[in-house]
Amino acid sequence: MPTESGSCSTARQAKQKRKSHSLSIRRTNSSEQERTGLPREMLEGQDSKLPSSVRSTLLELFGQIEREFENLYIENLELRREIDTLNERLAGEGQAIDGAELSKGQLKTKASHSTSQLSQKLKTTYKASTSKIVSSFKTTTSRAICQLVKEYIGHRDGIWDVSVARTQPVVLGTASADHTALLWSIETGKCLVKYAGHVGSVNSIKFHPSEQLALTASGDQTAHIWRYVVQLPTPQPVADTSQQISGEDEIECSDKDEPDIDGDVSSDCPTVRVPLTSLKSHQGVVIAADWLVGGKQVVTASWDRTANLYDVETSELVHSLTGHDQELTHCCTHPTQRLVVTSSRDTTFRLWDFRDPSIHSVNVFQGHTEINVCVGQKIIALPHDNRQVRLFDMSGVRLARLPRSSRQGHRRMVCCSAWSEDHPICNLFTCGFDRQAIGWNINIPALLQEK
């Protein structure tokens, strides 16, 4: 036993010695090589698993880096000599002017004083110029009034998508990670219908162009078409709890501040649990879906890198649109033409043309962003992860930012926006992961007047 203990102790000491030695090498390796200037032949003679061509290229690059550092070091030395010369000249001039020998401390005090004066002048000039820019910007946006009108609270998890019905009665639809889609009265904020047919997150919702049908896409790898019947409640007078705020005023609120939900507000509304049609051809999450013009076909986009075109009446797969290299992130259709746009994580979007039944052409474009455009006024509402929603014109000029003050606005990332230009109360809707959708009234003429 003593012998084993001694051998273990000896082994531990040797191991610690090797460990400290290796640590010492790692901490000093670069500086030692710089000081000793190891010859290239020694480095090339070391064992390496890299191919000789790659190794020679790396050595050449390291040699270039070393030469650059050497040039910088020489320039640094020359600058230091010039600084010393200037300091000596300043000291001599100080003696001639003052008539007495100035100490090094006095020279430092003078230099520090002049430097602080210069710094103060620069700060004053910078603040004056930037304050003019900020004040002029605030004057511009102060007339662009964005008013929060209604909050739609009832989901138990974040809301991915928001959409407005295109036919009467006009209702608001939301798709949530809580596996449900809800339909709302825009005027009262009351939940009208709850769809609970999916077993996964509901990622998108779109309304039929002429019938009371909704199309939802889900993480359960399906898209559902379901019918709803709603009766709008009588609108109540809206209390003046909102305030008009310019697009730039803001008071930060915590990310943890979320709307209070007392019970399940959607439990009292009718629930639809069985779809009319279930589309099941995808092998991955269905991230988005939309109706083609006329409402006889739908298109779906999935993480399996494909978009599928279905016939609504037969539920049959008409076309599988392939070509993207990574997961699809969105799809949408033209309101009056048989055109489909798909976007992907491969940083491309594709325009699919189905206007000619015999030819299905596709155009590929680089770069994409999921946005929502006010068609009539050509205004873009862009949601952000930092809880902001910014408004731009089609040329990229920023017009305003929706307010986030006095506990109004979104408190977590905003996922989607949808315009409803013809609605008299709310013409923009947003939703996010604070589990609420918000209806806004945007003073579009004021925005465009300041363009």
Q: Is the pLDDT at 198 greater than 50, yes or no?
A: yes
Between 6 and 54, where is the model more confident?
54
Domain of 355, in residue numbers: 147-370
pLDDT tens across 395-421, in order?
888 888 887 765 778 999 999 999 998
Residue 374 pLDDT class (50, 70, 90 cuts): low
73 within a domain of the structure (yes/no):
no
- What pTM value is reported for the model? 0.65
220 within a domain of the structure (yes/no):
yes
Number of domains the chain contains = 1
pLDDT tens across 283-342, in order?
999 999 999 999 999 999 999 999 999 999 999 999 999 999 999 999 999 999 999 999
Q: Could you write out the three-class secondary structure of the chain?
A: CHHHHHHHHHHHHHHHHHHHHHHHHHHHHHHHHHHHCCCHHHHHHCCCCCCHHHHHHHHHHHHHHHHHHHHHHHHHHHHHHHHHHHHHHHHHHHHHHHCCCCCHHHHHHHHHHHHHHHHHHHHHHHHHHHHHHHHHHHHHHHCCEEEEEEEEECCCCCEEEEEECCCCCCCEEEEECCCCEEEECCCCCCEEEEECCCCCCEEEEEECCCCCEEEEEECCCCEEEEECCCCCCCCCCCCCCCCEEECCCECCCCCCCCCCCCCCCCCCCCEECCCCEEECCCCCCEEEEEECCCCCEEEEEECCCCEEEEECCCCCEEEEECCCCCCEEEEEECCCCCEEEEEECCCEEEEEEEEECCEEEEEEEECCCCCEEECCCCEEEEECCCCCEEEEECCCCEEEECCECCCCCCCCCEEEEEECCCCCCCCEEEEECCCEEEEEEECHHHHHHCC
Percent of the chain with pLDDT over 70: 67
Q: Is the pLDDT at 343 greater than 90, yes or no?
A: yes
Going from the C-alpha of 231 to that of each of 43, 98, 176, 183, the distances in angstroms are: 82, 94, 23, 11
Between 389 and 98, where is the model more confident?
389
Paired sense of beta strands 436-442 and 428-432, if any:
antiparallel
Q: Is the pLDDT at 156 greater than 70, yes or no?
A: yes
423 within a domain of the structure (yes/no):
no
Q: Is the pLDDT at 439 greater than 50, yes or no?
A: yes
Identify the pLDDT of residue 451.
60
245 within a domain of the structure (yes/no):
yes
Identify the pLDDT of residue 31.
41
88 within a domain of the structure (yes/no):
no
Residue 202 pLDDT class (50, 70, 90 cuts): very high
346 within a domain of the structure (yes/no):
yes
Q: Is the pLDDT at 12 greater than 90, yes or no?
A: no
Identify the pLDDT of residue 264.
61
pLDDT tens across 87-139, in order?
888 887 665 444 444 444 544 454 455 555 555 555 555 554 444 444 444 43
Selection from 33-37, 219-223, 380-384 with the highest mean pLDDT = 219-223
Identify the pLDDT of residue 23.
40
278 within a domain of the structure (yes/no):
yes
Q: Is the pLDDT at 189 greater than 60, yes or no?
A: yes
Mean pLDDT of all residues in 221-244? 74
Identify the pLDDT of residue 378.
80
Q: Is the pLDDT at 249 greater than 80, yes or no?
A: no
Identify the pLDDT of residue 19.
45
375 within a domain of the structure (yes/no):
no
Identify the pLDDT of residue 94.
63
Identify the pLDDT of residue 132.
44
Q: Is the pLDDT at 61 greater than 60, yes or no?
A: yes
Q: Is the pLDDT at 201 greater than 70, yes or no?
A: yes
Identify the pLDDT of residue 406.
55
Mean pLDDT of all residues in 38-62? 72
Between 129 and 426, where is the model more confident?
426
Q: Is the pLDDT at 351 greater than 80, yes or no?
A: yes
Lowest mean per-residue pLDDT among 132-136, 222-226, 234-238, 354-358: 132-136
Between 64 and 202, where is the model more confident?
202
Lowest mean per-residue pLDDT among 103-107, 236-240, 284-288, 431-435: 103-107
Selection from 33-42, 262-271, 370-379, 386-395 with the highest mean pLDDT = 386-395
Which CATH number is 294's domain given?
2.130.10.10
